[in-house]
Amino acid sequence: LSNASSSASAAPAEVVEAELTWTGERFERGVQIAIDDDGRISAVGELGLPAGRRLPGRALLPGLVNAHSHAFQRAMRGRGETFPEGSGCFWSWREGMVELVGRLDPAHFHDLYAAAFREMRAAGITTVGEFHYLHHTTPEAEDFALDEHVLAAAEEVGIRLVLLEAYYASGGIGQPLTGPLRRLRGADPASYWRQMDRLARQLASRRQSLGAVAHSIRAATPGEMAELYGEARRRGLVFHLHLEEQQREIDDTVAAYGQRPMALLLEALPSCEGVTAVHCTHTAPAEMARYLDAGGRVCICPLTEGNLGDGIADLPAIHRAARGRLSLGTDSNARISMLEEMRWLEYVQRLERRQRGVLHDAGGSGARPLLRAATEDGATTLGVAAGRIAAGCWADLLVVDLAATTLAGWDDDNLLPALVFGTAEEVVAATCVAGAWQEHRSPGLG
Ligand SMILES: [Zn+2]
C-alpha cells in the first residue's frame, strides 16, 4: 500500500506494525494498522505514526473465519472411529451424535463450548459461525437455556461469535422429533423469532451477532424455510442451512416432494441473496448454477466431509461461477484447523482429478483463494465486517511466528503457500479480536 486509507480522524487507541502484513494480495513491509477505541481498524498503510506495538519476526494476517461449527461435537473426537461390525457411514456416526445430545447437561455443555472456542482461537480462528441447534436443558423443557451458554462461553474466550440459531421442527420429513432430539425442537417460526429477539438483547455488541438458520430440509418444510428467510432478510440477517450432504437426504426429499433439496429451495425462496448452503456435496450441476445465479453461497467443511465419508463437491464449478462465495467450516470439530481445511479443500480435488492447482485465482495463486475462503468470504457469509485488514473492519488479526520451524525457508513471496500447505496451529503466536490481544504460544509479543 503506497497510501494510507482512513475512515476516522480521532487518534488511534493503538498502532501496530509487524514485519509483514497481508494486504489482500501479498505480504508487505512497513505497513501500520491503526485501531480505534471500539476495536475497529481506522487506517492501514504507511501511516508514519509511532507504533505502540511493534512485531518484528511476525506476520499479520486477517484472523481466520470458521463459517460452520457445531462446538458440542468436539466431544466426539476419537470416538466412533472403531468399526467392529465393518465400515460405518454418516448415519452410524449420527447415532453417536444423538447419544451425546441425550447426555449433555448445561454445565458440561458450557465447558465443552468454552474449550472448543479456546482451541479455535489458539488455531488462529477469530470468528466462529456456530450453527446451533441443541437448545433445551431437557427433552421436556422448551427453555432455550443452552443458547445463553453459547454466548457466555464465546465471551469467556473472547472469540467473535455469529450465533447461527437453528430452527429444527421435525426429525425427518413429516416426522416428529422424538427422544433426546426433542432438545432441538422449535414449535413454529413465530416462537423462533421471539427467541431471536431475546437473544438479540443479550449479545455483546462488539463481538456477537445473530444469523438465521433452518437446520435442513429434514428439519423444516419449504414453507417454513420461506417464512424464516423472508423475516431474516427483513432484519438484515444471513440465512444458513445444511444441504445435500448425504444421498439419503436427497432420496427422502425426492420421495416426499418429487424434487431434490436444492430444487425445492430454489422454488421456495424468492432469491438466494444472503443464503449459505453448507456442504452441497451431491448438488446437481444445473441446480448449483441456478443457485449461484440467484446469489447463493456455499460453505464446505473438507475435514468433516472426509471424516464422515460424505463425498466431494464440484468445487471448480462453484469457484468459476461464483468467485468469492466459498467459505470453510470446521463443522464436527474432529480436528480444529482452518489451515488444514484450506489445503484439504484443494487436496481432495487433486486426488479426484489427478491435477494440481484445481483452485487458483487469476494470477495463478493456489493459496490466495484458499485464504480468501477462510477469511473475507467467510466473514461475508456470516455478515460480519471482518476477514480483511482494511479500514472499517474489526481489528480481528492473526499473528504468525516467522521463526516457527515449519516455516523455515520462507521468503516474502512463498510465505502464504508455505503457511497454507505446510503449517498448522504451531505458527499461531497471538490473535486479536476487536482490538483485544491474546498470546497463544510465544512469550514476548509487543
Ligand atoms: Zn453442520
pLDDT at 9: 55
Nearest CA to 204 out of 39, 72, 65 is that of 39
Distance of CA 343 from the midpoint of ligand 1 (Å)? 20
Question: What burial class does residue 413 get, using C-beta atoms within 10 Å of its C-beta: 0-12 exposed, 13-18 middle, 19+ buried?
Answer: exposed
By CB neighbour count within 10 A (0-12 exposed, 13-18 middle, 19+ buried), where does 26 fall?
middle
Question: 212 - beta bridge partners?
Answer: 165, 239
| d(C-alpha 69, C-alpha 81), whole Å | 20
Contacts of 191 (CB under 8 A, 6+ apart): none
* Distance from C-alpha of 47 to C-alpha of 118, rounded to nearest angstrom: 33
**What's the angle, vertex CA 240, arms to CA 238 and CA 245, rounded to 5?**
160
Count helices and strands in the chain by DSSP H and E runs: 14, 17
pLDDT in tens, the chain (446 residues): 434 555 445 689 999 999 999 999 999 999 999 999 999 999 999 999 999 999 999 999 999 999 999 999 999 999 888 888 888 888 888 888 888 988 999 999 999 999 999 999 999 999 999 999 999 999 999 999 999 999 999 999 999 999 999 999 999 999 999 999 999 999 899 999 999 999 999 999 899 999 999 999 999 999 999 999 999 999 999 999 999 999 999 999 999 999 999 999 999 999 999 999 999 999 999 999 999 999 999 999 999 999 999 999 999 989 888 888 999 999 999 999 999 999 999 999 999 999 999 999 999 999 999 999 999 999 999 999 999 999 999 999 999 999 999 999 999 999 999 999 999 999 999 999 999 999 997 544 43
- Per-residue confidence (pLDDT) for residue 320, from 0 to 100: 84
H-state helical runs in 172-270: 189-202, 222-235, 247-257, 261-268
Q: Rounded to an integer, what distance in angstroms lies between the CA atom of residue 2 and that of residue 158?
A: 33
**pTM (2 decimals)?**
0.96
C-alpha 133 – ligand 1 centre gap (Å)? 10
Instruction: Give the Å distance between the CA of 215 and the centre of ligand 1.
Output: 9
Q: Are strands 125-132 and 297-300 parallel, antiparallel or unpaired?
A: unpaired
Task: State the distance from the centre of ligand 1 to the C-alpha of 300, rounded, in angstroms.
Answer: 10
Q: What is the pLDDT of residue 257?
A: 97
Bridge partner residues of 214 (DSSP): 167
Which backbone phi and psi does 336 adopt, to 5 degrees? -110, 95
Q: How far is the CA of 348 from the centre of ligand 1 (A)?
A: 19
Contact in structure between 79 and 96 (CB atoms under 8 Å): yes
CB atoms under 10 Å from CB of 347, counted, come to 16
Rounded Cα gap, residues 429 and 277, in angstroms: 33
Which pLDDT value is given to residue 92? 84
* pLDDT of 31: 98
What pLDDT does 442 receive?
52
210 C-alpha vs ligand 1 centroid, how far in Å?
A: 17
Nearest-angstrom CA–CA distance, 94 and 392: 41
Ligand 1: centre distance to CA 244 (Å): 11
The pLDDT value given to residue 324: 87
Which of the 8 DSSP states describes residue 396?
A: -
CB-based contact 56:402 (threshold 8 Å):
no
Active site residues: 279, 331
Q: How far is the CA of 69 from the centre of ligand 1 (A)?
A: 6
C-alpha cell at 368: 490466495
SS3 223: helix
- Ligand 1 (ion): residues with CB under 5 Å are 331
